[in-house]
């Protein structure tokens, strides 16, 4: 059972996407719905230069926090000098207590047609920025864990979050050893996700943070099949309000009380993103 007294941090939520598809009122409504469900804080990562200011403004609007970065899926349209523009933005925003990380950055070797070398250049440039400004990073990890770890060994940062982690136990331990927490969200709710569910159950409790990636990675109860879409059903859209129910699945896999997971995941989020502590005080 999900108790109202449990307070949750969604460590990865793209609230700006709700505004893109439904206007500011839609984003406001989703954030309010999440608050009613017990989500006290959302971390809003940017994906490219076009939405840096948007996520910053939304974080201030809702009392949340944000990260600034260039997502690997946005590297094809990014300009070669965008990392320099990002550097200037980070320098301006560094005194802002709501700027908690560099992100969302990383590598994606699942989506076809992306230039791997270009992704690597942007990834390494942004690791350098995280080092310069002493900020943690929020990593996009999609069939790329080993390459991401290689970059972190060569350009170590102060940790952060491996978002939507779905790698091996060995890779999980490598990220944890580098000071990272691992993000678990809607994908863990699928019974066929055996490896992911095993990790959620067996990894140390202090290694886990919770996230939705809303409006992406919907939990199984929101999933719309291809047949349903062909029949006219709208595509599934996740929401930060789903986080407590996702957390209940993780707690069940671990055999612990939901409240214990709520407390641990909040502590873990603050360890991964230290500037959160003051915002939650």
Per-residue confidence in pLDDT tens, the chain, 281 aa: 334 458 999 999 999 999 988 899 999 999 999 999 999 999 999 999 999 999 999 999 999 999 999 999 999 999 999 999 999 999 999 999 999 999 999 999 999 999 999 999 999 999 999 999 999 999 999 999 999 999 999 999 999 999 999 999 999 999 999 999 999 999 999 999 999 999 999 999 999 999 999 999 999 999 988 888 888 888 889 999 999 999 999 999 999 999 999 999 999 999 999 999 999 98
User: Do 92 and 52 contact (CB within 8 A), yes or no?
Assistant: no
Q: Which residues contact 128 (CB under 8 A, 6 or more apart)?
A: 155
CA 77 to chain centre: 22
For 175-217, strand residue ranges (E) read 180-184, 208-210
Binding residues for a divalent metal cation, as ranges, are: 12, 14, 104, 140, 163, 213
Q: What topology does CATH give the domain 8-280?
A: TIM Barrel (3.20.20)
User: Do 220 and 214 contact (CB within 8 A), yes or no?
Assistant: no
CA pair distance 110, 11, nearest whole angstrom: 23
CA pair distance 10, 4, nearest whole angstrom: 16
Q: Which helix (H) or strand (E) holds 39?
A: strand 39-45
Binding residues, as ranges, are: 12, 14, 104, 140, 163, 213
């Amino acid at each position: 059972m999900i108790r109202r007294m449990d307070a949750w941090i969604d460590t990865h939520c793209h609230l700006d996407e709700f505004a893109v598809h439904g206007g500011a009122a839609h984003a406001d409504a989703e954030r309010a719905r999440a608050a009613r469900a017990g989500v006290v804080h959302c971390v809003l990562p940017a994906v490219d230069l076009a939405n840096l200011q948007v996520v910053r403004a939304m974080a201030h609007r809702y009392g949340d926090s944000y990260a600034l970065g260039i997502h690997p899926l946005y590297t094809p349209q990014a300009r070669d000098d965008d990392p320099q523009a990002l550097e200037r933005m980070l320098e301006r925003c560094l005194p802002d207590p709501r700027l908690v990380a560099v992100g969302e950055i990383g590598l994606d070797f699942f989506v076809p047609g992306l230039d791997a070398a270009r992704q690597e250049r942007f990834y390494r440039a942004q690791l350098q920025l995280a080092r310069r400004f002493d900020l943690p990073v929020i990593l996009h990890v999609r069939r790329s864990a080993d390459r991401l770890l290689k970059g972190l060994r060569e350009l170590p940062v102060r940790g952060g979050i491996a978002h939507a982690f779905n790698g091996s136990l060995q890779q999980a331990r490598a990220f944890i050893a580098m000071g990272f927490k691992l993000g678990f969200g809607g994908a863990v709710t699928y019974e066929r996700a055996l490896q992911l569910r095993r990790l959620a159950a067996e990894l140390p409790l202090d290694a886990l943070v919770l996230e939705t990636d809303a409006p992406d990675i919907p939990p199984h109860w929101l999933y719309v099949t291809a047949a349903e879409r062909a029949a006219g059903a709208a595509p599934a859209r996740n929401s930060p309000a789903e986080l407590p129910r996702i957390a209940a699945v993780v707690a069940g896999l671990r055999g612990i009380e939901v409240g214990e997971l709520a407390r641990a995941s909040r502590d873990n989020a603050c360890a991964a993103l230290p500037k959160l502590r003051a915002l939650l005080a």
